[in-house]
Amino acid sequence: MESYLNENFGDVKAKNSSEEALQRWRKLCWVVKNPKRRFRFTANLSKRFEARAIRRSNQEKFRLAVLVSQAALQFIHGLSSDYTPPEEVTAAGFQICADELGSIVEGHDFKKLKIHGGVQSIAGKLSTSITNGISTADDALNRRKEIYGINKFTETKVPGFWIFVWEALHDMTLMILAVCAFVSLLVGIIMEGWPKGAHDGLGIVASILLVVFVTATSDYRQSLQFKDLDTEKKKITVQVTRDGQRQKISIYDLVPGDFVHLAIGDQVPADGLFISGFSLLINESSLTGESEPVHVNAENPFLLSGTKVQDGSCKMLVTTVGMRTQWGKLMATLSEGGDDETPLQVKLNGVATIIGKLGLFFAAVTFSVLVQGLFSLKLREGSHWSWSGDEALKILEFFAVAVTIVVVAVPEGLPLAVTLSLAFAMKKMMHDKALVRHLAACETMGSATTICSDKTGTLTTNHMTLVKACICGKIKEVSSTEETSCFCSEIPNFAVRILLQSIFNNTGGEIVRNIDDKIEILGTPTEAALLEFGLLLGGDFQAEQEASKIVKVEPFNSAKKQMGVVLEIPGVGFRAHSKGASEIVLAACDKFIDSNGDVVALDEASINHLKDTIDNFASEALRTLCLAYMELGSEFSAESPLPSKGYTCIAIVGIKDPVRPGVKESVAICKSAGISVRMVTGDNINTAKAIAKECGILTDEGIAIEGPVFREKSEEELQKLIPNIQVMARSSPMDKHILVKHLRTGLEEVVAVTGDGTNDAPALHEADIGLAMGIAGTEVAKESADVIIMDDNFSTIPTVAKWGRSIYVNIQKFVQFQLTVNIVALIVNFSSACLTGNAPLTAVQLLWVNMIMDTLGALALATEPPNDDLMKRSPVGRKGNFISNVMWRNIMGQSLYQFVIIWFLQTRGKAFFHLDGEDSDLILNTLIFNSFVFCQVFNEINSREMEKINVFKGILRNHVFVAVITCTVIFQIIIIQFLGAFANTYPLTMQQWIASILLGFLGMPIAAALKMIPVE
């Protein structure tokens, strides 16, 4: 079976599956009772085609708009605006309406922008202060929302409960049974009168309604869980200036007139106009499909919602929000596209198809045998030309049994159990600080064999403090105000001044006053540590920024490992500042500031002293940075690149970032679970090794390598080297990508990768499971990831792996349980029909069995919470069989036992229980039905563990399981004792009840004995 599944249903991968593969498996699933339900949680391919068409349309529209606007620019001179804002807009205190704003930005309309007086004038028309932003007084904000709308997109509403009831009624087999029930009612009432003649028909109707309502309730709860998770995924915050204060708000609270601060990796949250910024590159591929980034500046100021900041930073004026933007319209379509189906869902659809085909065959043969038996009897009696109503009812009953065999045989619940388990796990994982973006990531994480983890913020706390500095050749600890003041007094004034200028100008952070009028440092933890050090030195952020003009900025990125800025200083000229990885920036220096404050050439002794300082800082697990500057004279063009050599070293600083508590234990858990942990970091190799040893990642047999060395290796060398690499330092995003690709393709590992930066996106996309950081991660990284680690903590990753394994094992348990019921129900009804001429289990009874094994079975087994034992076994990896030999052993053993029991009752039951009289057949069939149900109840308990004998461990902690078993037993008692007229049962005596339960219970020692049989 496994080879058939892999061949026909194995094309669908955990991520990046082709649409041909997604369409192919759907075509193979032709035995489907209820397409509406079966394919509810799969991708809507038609909506995806629609979204692609919108992207193509956007691409053409924006390209045409730019060409038309540029051609129109030459005719603008002398034109005046004939635009008059609507009365309601002016009454609200604004001078431009939403439609006019939308046409300017979406249409890239330079002409209209010029006519309206440019960006500054539009800000004025939106009643926005260029320095303070908008006013947040309630009435002012409400007026803006009324005139311009809110920044929310139209979303697909969760269908109501009755919609799920309606969909559950679309089950073809249930519809056929409903017709049978109606005919049965008519014929029964005509033949036997009311109410006796209605019992069989009403029994089927009641069973159908019970199945429908239980199914609908389960599906409705799942949809609510997915809605909650979807809402959590869309939580994005941005930094804005309001009332003169810098603050973080949700993108859904943005209004036109807001000033938004964007940095590398951010998503543009609304349509808007560029106010100021440096080196801004925007990736518009999400909106237009165009991969080439767009330069945005004062000459091309248009920013579109949903696009990403690929490089640089800027301040943006929001002009258009929500459904007025093209992104809003695209999102409304994309939200209906759905998630890709997961490999397990597809495989189980394959299993359901195989068993469904067998079920159809057995149902057809069973019906044929039963009808042939009746016809043979009529022939022997010579009454084959005259048929009574009872005999017509008998044929109808045979047909109902055949249809019910199909109901039981087509395990519609198999693929849906995956969805149920995933929904349950995703909800629980959110409480464990892991937000799953793609369903497939849950099950894939259970197969992970390797984790490639970042260092900063994942293994460490990301709470950085500058603790050591080497300035003017002097090394001092500077973690407190007293130490810093003492150090400052020993350093020449010129060195202090140039250091403060570098810290406060060459930065991606800011020092602002927050809503409570307290000083707040914004920016990455590294920037915050440096800015805090600048304040301890007695520096003034605002004064330093106002003393010079920033001419050019080259933001930090992980490829260059440095950032730079060019300042224009009155009376001095242009000065460049550089900051970044110590050895890289130091290599660009040929001078340094000595203890007297003089700029002197770097000789060999000085270079060795500085290199030793870097190594000493790094060996203490400190993150090292080098700050340098260079005089550029009186001429510099903003288009010119920053110099690559000739700098003067100002200082080398060591920043402490402690290892997170519990990381060492988490790494040990991963290793005991057969998951290798590798550290991939941009830091100095000595820092990386020190942290890796502290975490338990780097062992004596392991290799620590630097990115530049790794890059130069040949394919053959990499194949030998990669299995032993435990630390990669000074790595570029491309190094990370190459490592992940080799692990996946060359070594066939299932790889999980963590990332937080924009440049990590390729590795996150390439990996089997991309794990983005929720706090430090950029929106670009999060969008490329499958799971977001909300607390940025490595200890959350083993929890995700544990949940992944739990899902995989839970689905295996459910499949084992359901296949056992399928096989026994099929064989019992088929063999009985062939050998005795009647079926022991009626339509109503089979519907109840179907509900036990389908919806209730999935609830009980697919929602089993994970236990620590899961992390003591080896991962399944890429080649593991889903239906394992262990499962086949358990399925075949239990099926054989149950078949023997049912067959014994059918052939020897009357003698064994001393049954005689006119009700003996009914009592025997009731005993068979009751024993069969209790076999399933105890087999459900057996299925909690596939290999261990103790199946009761932790059973009371799974409240869902206990509730399902209890409800099944209670309802079984009601069916037998009180609903005999409808369910074709007869009330049993206490001895018969004990015997039925005992026959079911005997399955437990049988299961324990089976588990002792070794299998490969």
> Catalytic positions, please?
454
CA 702/CA 723 separation, integer angstroms: 9
The residues pairing with 729 across neighbouring beta strands, listed in sequence order, are 706
Say which residues have a Cβ less than 8 Å from residue 72's Cβ, sequence separation at least 6: 110, 111
Q: What Cα–Cα distance (Å) separates residue 374 from each residue in 81, 392, 410, 787, 936?
A: 92, 11, 27, 60, 32
Q: How far is CA 756 from the centre of its chain?
A: 15
The one-character DSSP state at 1012 is T
Structure tokens at 772: 């983005």
The one-character DSSP state at 767 is S
592, 596, 598, 603 alpha-carbon torsion, rounded to 10°: -40
DSSP of 674-701, one letter per residue? T-EEEEE-SS-HHHHHHHHHHHT---TT
CB-CB neighbours of 328 under 10 Å: 21
CB-CB neighbours of 129 under 10 Å: 15
DSSP of 5-28, one letter per residue? HHHHH----SSS--HHHHHHHHHH
CA 294/CA 282 separation, integer angstroms: 5
622, 623, 624, 628 alpha-carbon torsion, rounded to 10°: -140
Using the CB atoms, write b or e for 473-489: b if 16+ within 10 Å.
eebeebeeeeebeebbe
Could you tell me if 791 and 775 are in contact, meaning their C-beta atoms sit under 8 angstroms apart? Answer: yes
Could you tell me if 266 and 237 are in contact, meaning their C-beta atoms sit under 8 angstroms apart? Answer: no
> 74 burial class (0-12, 13-18, 19+ CB within 10 angstroms)?
exposed
> 139 burial class (0-12, 13-18, 19+ CB within 10 angstroms)?
exposed
CB-CB neighbours of 600 under 10 Å: 12
The beta strands (E) that lie in 523-621 are given as: 549-557, 562-569, 573-581, 589-593, 599-601
Interhelix angle 172-192/389-409, rounded to 10 degrees, is 160
CA 383/CA 386 separation, integer angstroms: 6
The one-character DSSP state at 116 is T
Could you tell me if 821 and 936 are in contact, meaning their C-beta atoms sit under 8 angstroms apart? Answer: yes
CA 444/CA 490 separation, integer angstroms: 58
CA 995/CA 984 separation, integer angstroms: 20
DSSP of 37-96, one letter per residue? HHTTTS--HHHHHHHHHHHHHHHHHHHHHHHHHHHHHTT-TT--------HHHHHTT-SS
Could you tell me if 454 and 754 are in contact, meaning their C-beta atoms sit under 8 angstroms apart? Answer: yes
Going by C-alpha positions, the residue among 362, 390, 650 that lies closest to residue 503 is 650
DSSP of 613-656, one letter per residue? HHHHHHHTTEEEEEEEEEEEET---TTSPPPSS-EEEEEEEEEE
N residues, the chain: 1016
Angle (CA) 721 722 725, round 5°: 90
The residues pairing with 277 across neighbouring beta strands, listed in sequence order, are 314
Angle (CA) 820 821 826, round 5°: 105
